A and B are shown apart, each in its own frame.
Chain A
Amino acid sequence: MRSKECVAMLLAGGKGNRLGALTSKLAKPAVYFGGKYRLIDFTLSNCTNSGIDTVGVLTQYHPLALNSYIGVGKPWDLEREEGGVTILPPYIKQDGGDWYKGTADSIYQNIDFIEQYDPKYVLVISGDHIYKMNYELMLNAHIQKNAEATVAAISVGWKDASRFGIIDTNDENKMISFFEKPKNPRSNLASMGIYIFNWGILKKLLISDAKDQRSSHDFGKDIIPKMLENGNDLYAYSFEGYWRDVGTVESLWETHMDLLKKNSAFDLNERGWKVYSRNLNQPSQYISSKAIVRNSLVNEGCTVFGEVENSVLSYGVHIEEGSNVKDSVIMPNVKIGKNVKINRAIIGEGTIIHDHNVVGNLEDITLIGHREIVT
């Protein structure tokens, strides 16, 4: 097999507790987003658009929907003779086996996968972020700086800084310190959880980290601090585009609302940077003569007889006459009856809402899970 310059390892085993009912039976990267996508589409599309053609997807929690969604990777052009997408669940070895105990441990357990491509660099990314990023530019910066590891970083508001891993750098972007969720942050440059490592160095670190009983086997908590301690050359790579970690119901809702803003910072229609996804064969959406659809994103297969305002409808959504959907996110195949009012809500896949119901309120975001029936 030809060697690859860079292999991507995509972390997709997360449980996503804070997404409540949406992830009760679904891995977080498989959660629907933007009317047509699943969260993982954004990262996989970034790989394709950045020219990375070898991606290992680390799955663990409720992988059924995620595995069948990824399949052989055809929708992202990752169905390749050499490389392409490979799903990597935990497995049993001769001397027993274990679940992935942390992000670093999941890569450690798949050293053999990476070794077969003999890469110079390994890119570590997450399957639950909404952003468009050219990893090739980050890799170029990594090579140019002669770095041993590079961490992508974004400026966040000072008040949010204590929620992130915070990086302090010198004038040349070299990392001086890194603190995971600090109480008194020294900078507002937050780690995006995107790393490039020189594989030779990372491999050694992973092997010694695996033996360390006290380690939590996490990149942010263990590997990066260890590298700083060892005096490795770590650099930050500043990213200035749109980036969101949709870890909570509120942030999932807010990120959807961002898509609907006038001159939204995140353009799904950008030519030259398409977001790929598995396309279902659904007919064009039908908007009836009594319907009103304003400031919304609507996918194919929808039939709308009611009013939709400032909302995102995924495929196969049916909205009957007299109903009003406002500031809401409706996931696939939801059926909404007559004279229903929905406000500031996220409605899970396949849920049926019968006539005359009122869902949602003005204070917080109401979440209805998958395949529920609201009578």
Chain B
Amino acid sequence: MKNVMGIINLVNETDQLEELTYNRCIASTPFGGRYRLIDFILSSLVNSGVQKVCMFTQEKYRSLMDHLGSGREWDLDRKQNGLTVLPPLFDDPDESKKGDLYYFYCHRDYFFRCNEEYVILSKSHMVCNIDFKPILQFHKEKEAQITVLYKEDKEELYSLTRQIKVNADQKVSSMQGYHTKQQSDPFSMEMLLMRKELFLDLVETSIAKGWKDFITDAVIKNLDLLSVYGYKYSGYLGIINTVQSYYKNSMDLLNASLFNQLFHQSHSIYTKTKDEAPAAYKSSASVLNSLVTNGCIIKGTVENSILFRGIEVGEGARLKNCIIMPNSVIQQNVNLENAILDKHVIVNMDQEIIGDPKMPFVAEKQKVI
């Protein structure tokens, strides 16, 4: 995989996470107790043997930069290769509204300096632990020009996806030009493998035609001219771009077998680590079917919930079906059900908040309730 580089494209990512992304991009949204969404694709690339990753950022990326740092946690802080963040490169603020093709085009010099033969293009909102090695092999065997990863899911997804049709010979016959909620159809994982030359060629010719978006325009409009194959992925996948899908996929982690599939079966998922003490369960604590992270101090009852790091749960407090992001404080005798609290939220004593199981209550960052 040394001749493959990763491109993580955060430009125009479909985002209906509402309060959760008021101050951050999808990529840096906390997920799964101690991760941010970007960790999953980044770790998958690194674990597959990819040594060079570049990331196109568009907006609200301060927390993302803080999280990534030098890329050390993913072993991407290197003299050779490593992680490069490619921020917007515009003179006119209006240009930022242009599609991702224009972002790629502006940084084409970067790619000219790269020696890798292939690129894996992906987004950040897919929670997965993928090995890309078999996909490269598939790509070569099929002599494909582009390989698109897709998945079939029988369950209701709650997220927005792009429908894809794949023939019996695994050729992609059509792809939907937009994202919708759908059921039981194969959908694209927005991960593409192709030669770097083809990628740059598509960018250049598409820009010349006045097109905007890489997948919607450069790939879909050229579907007849290119040999595009679909690779069916069957491992764990969570697609996070709506509040409902965020909530559902988080709660799915409380299923021990899914949790193991994502975190314990193959390679690790890496993230920025913090120096927190082990979680402290006090004598009045009662924790059932939950994920708990270091730095938590628990005196109350926690059930079917996910606690990020550094959370205090006061005596007599009761959490059920909740997701609590780092450094939030739940004071005594609070009753919280079906809720998502962003970072640094404080819930004062004796409060009661019961959200809808389908549409949880969401408190934005630093709110005091």
**A contact set with B: CB distance below 8 Å:** 34-36, 75, 262, 268-269, 274-277, 279-289, 291-300, 303, 308, 312-314
Q: Which of A288, A292, A299, A314 contacts B279 (CB 8 A)?
A: A299
Query: Is B115 an interface residue, CB under 8 A from the partner?
Result: no
Q: Which of A36, A280, A294, A300 contacts B293 (CB 8 A)?
A: A300
Bound together, the chains give a CA A289 to CA B254 distance in angstroms of: 10
Identity of the chain B residue whose Cβ is nearest the Cβ of A290 in the assembled complex: B288
Q: Are B279 and A281 in contact, with the CB atoms below 8 A?
A: no
Residues of chain A contacted by B270 (CB below 8 angstroms): 281
Q: Are A275 and B277 in contact, with the CB atoms below 8 A?
A: yes
Q: Are A293 and B278 in contact, with the CB atoms below 8 A?
A: no
Q: Are A291 and B288 in contact, with the CB atoms below 8 A?
A: yes
Q: Are A283 and B282 in contact, with the CB atoms below 8 A?
A: no
Identity of the chain B residue whose Cβ is nearest the Cβ of A292 in the assembled complex: B286
Give me 20 A-to-B residue pairs in the complex whose CB atoms sit less than 8 angstroms apart, sorted by A's number: A269-B277, A277-B275, A279-B274, A281-B269, A283-B264, A284-B33, A286-B259, A288-B288, A289-B288, A291-B288, A292-B286, A294-B286, A295-B283, A295-B285, A297-B280, A298-B281, A298-B292, A299-B278, A303-B256, A314-B278
Bound together, the chains give a CA A279 to CA B285 distance in angstroms of: 26
Q: Are A36 and B288 in contact, with the CB atoms below 8 A?
A: no
Residues of chain B contacted by A303 (CB below 8 angstroms): 256
Residues of chain A contacted by B277 (CB below 8 angstroms): 34-36, 268-269, 275, 297
Bound together, the chains give a CA A262 to CA B285 distance in angstroms of: 13
Q: Are A285 and B291 in contact, with the CB atoms below 8 A?
A: yes
Q: Which of A262, A280, A286, A312 contacts B278 (CB 8 A)?
A: A312
Residues of chain B contacted by A294 (CB below 8 angstroms): 281-283, 285-286
Query: Is B295 an interface residue, CB under 8 A from the partner?
Result: yes
Residues of chain A contacted by B281 (CB below 8 angstroms): 293-298, 308
If over half of A's interface residues share one DSSP class (helix, strand or loop), that class is named, otherwise mixed; here it is loop
Q: Are B306 and A281 in contact, with the CB atoms below 8 A?
A: no
Residues of chain B contacted by A275 (CB below 8 angstroms): 275, 277
Identity of the chain A residue whose Cβ is nearest the Cβ of B283 in the assembled complex: A295
Q: Are B288 and A269 in contact, with the CB atoms below 8 A?
A: no
Q: Are B297 and A269 in contact, with the CB atoms below 8 A?
A: yes
Bound together, the chains give a CA A350 to CA B279 distance in angstroms of: 21
CB distance from B272 to the nearest CB of A (A): 9
Bound together, the chains give a CA A368 to CA B263 distance in angstroms of: 29
Query: Is B290 an interface residue, CB under 8 A from the partner?
Result: yes
CB distance from A294 to the nearest CB of B (A): 6
Residues of chain A contacted by B307 (CB below 8 angstroms): 284
Most chain A beta-carbon contacts within 10 A, residue among B269, B281, B285: B281
CB distance from A39 to the nearest CB of B (A): 16
Residues of chain A contacted by B278 (CB below 8 angstroms): 34-36, 268, 297-300, 312-314
Query: Is B273 an interface residue, CB under 8 A from the partner?
Result: yes
Residues of chain A contacted by B271 (CB below 8 angstroms): 281
Identity of the chain B residue whose Cβ is nearest the Cβ of A280 in the assembled complex: B273
Residues of chain B contacted by A314 (CB below 8 angstroms): 278
Most chain B beta-carbon contacts within 10 A, residue among A275, A285, A292, A314: A285
Q: Are B34 and A283 in contact, with the CB atoms below 8 A?
A: yes
Identity of the chain B residue whose Cβ is nearest the Cβ of A279 in the assembled complex: B273
A284 and B306 contact, Cβ closer than 8 Å, known pairs A295-B283, A298-B279 = yes
CB distance from A216 to the nearest CB of B (A): 39
Bound together, the chains give a CA A285 to CA B254 distance in angstroms of: 11
Identity of the chain A residue whose Cβ is nearest the Cβ of B306 in the assembled complex: A284
Identity of the chain B residue whose Cβ is nearest the Cβ of A260 in the assembled complex: B280
Q: Are A289 and B289 in contact, with the CB atoms below 8 A?
A: yes
Bound together, the chains give a CA A303 to CA B292 distance in angstroms of: 10
Residues of chain A contacted by B32 (CB below 8 angstroms): 283-284
Query: Is B351 an interface residue, CB under 8 A from the partner?
Result: no
Query: Is B73 an interface residue, CB under 8 A from the partner?
Result: yes
Bound together, the chains give a CA A294 to CA B33 distance in angstroms of: 20
Residues of chain A contacted by B286 (CB below 8 angstroms): 292, 294
Query: Is B166 an interface residue, CB under 8 A from the partner?
Result: no
CB distance from A338 to the nearest CB of B (A): 15
Residues of chain A contacted by B279 (CB below 8 angstroms): 285, 297-299
Residues of chain A contacted by B256 (CB below 8 angstroms): 286, 288, 303
